[in-house]
């Protein structure tokens, strides 16, 4: 893995201000705030605001939506201080470009056609069929070609402290822009486990050094 390029670490589905603070203390770069109906990690506005305020100025805060009505996206972005928006559904290129903030667009696996559809977005590559917080692993090495072609990607889908080093190693010499984890660092009740967050970060940094 090419030296000198630092892989960003995103902890998604943060549900408590204390978990956000622990993630920041451990050294993460981004946290995800989930606004997807039906998700066990979905936040109400008051909780999301409390989490956002707790870590303001210390980490990039990302609001996660999936096929949300535009008025819901606007309601969240007016209320909550954010650095990025993540779209995790079938949003069109036009919808993605309507957002004033930088966008992360989740796609199914290493989908070249989808990558070409969202030229201005960071691409989060999740499980080809079972993505979106399900914690399912896939053949992460398939992302290598997109990285080699110059796409900025966030590797996601089933990553945890035990396998993230292997996943990064399978990409060869070119690191991804970042990695994303939710289920892989959780304890009971969808709360994040500080020890697993620290172990995840340590594994990523070890993979960087090994490259």
List residues with catalytic annotation.
Answer: 12, 126
Torsion of CA 49, 55, 58, 61, to 10 degrees: -40
Closest CA to 64 of 41, 99, 100, 32: 32
Give the span between the Cα atoms of 170 and 168, in whole angstroms: 5
Question: CA distances (Å), 65 to each of 39, 42, 77, 201, in order?
Answer: 11, 10, 11, 25
Are 13 and 42 within 8 A, CB to CB? no
Q: Please answer whether residues 10 and 152 qualify as being in contact, where contact means their C-beta atoms are separated by less than 8 angstroms.
A: no
Report the distance separating Cα 211 and Cα 2, nearest Å: 6
Residue in this structure with the two tokens 């936040």, named with its chain if needed: 43
Query: To which H or E segment does residue 123 belong?
Result: strand 122-126
What count of residues does the chain have?
A: 211
Q: Are 119 and 97 in contact (CB under 8 A)?
A: no
Both tokens of residue 95?
Answer: 């919808």
């Amino acid at each position: 893995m090419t030296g000198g390029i630092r892989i960003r670490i995103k902890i998604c589905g943060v549900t408590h201000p204390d978990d956000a603070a622990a993630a920041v203390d451990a050294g993460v770069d981004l946290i995800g705030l989930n606004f997807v109906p039906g998700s066990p990690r979905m936040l109400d506005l008051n909780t999301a605001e409390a989490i956002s305020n707790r870590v303001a100025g210390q980490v990039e805060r990302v609001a996660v939506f999936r096929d949300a009505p535009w008025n819901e996206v606007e309601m969240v972005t007016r209320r909550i201080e954010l650095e990025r928006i993540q779209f995790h559904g079938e949003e069109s290129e036009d919808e993605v470009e309507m957002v004033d903030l930088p966008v992360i667009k989740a796609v199914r696996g290493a989908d070249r056609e989808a990558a070409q559809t969202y030229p201005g977005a960071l691409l989060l590559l999740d499980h080809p069929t079972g993505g979106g917080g399900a914690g399912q692993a896939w053949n992460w090495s398939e992302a290598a070609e997109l990285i080699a072609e110059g796409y900025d990607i966030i590797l996601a889908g089933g990553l945890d402290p035990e396998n993230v080093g292997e996943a990064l190693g399978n990409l060869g010499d070119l690191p991804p822009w970042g990695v994303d984890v939710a289920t892989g660092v959780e304890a009971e009740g969808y709360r994040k486990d500080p020890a697993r967050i620290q172990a995840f970060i340590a594994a990523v940094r070890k993979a960087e050094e090994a490259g």
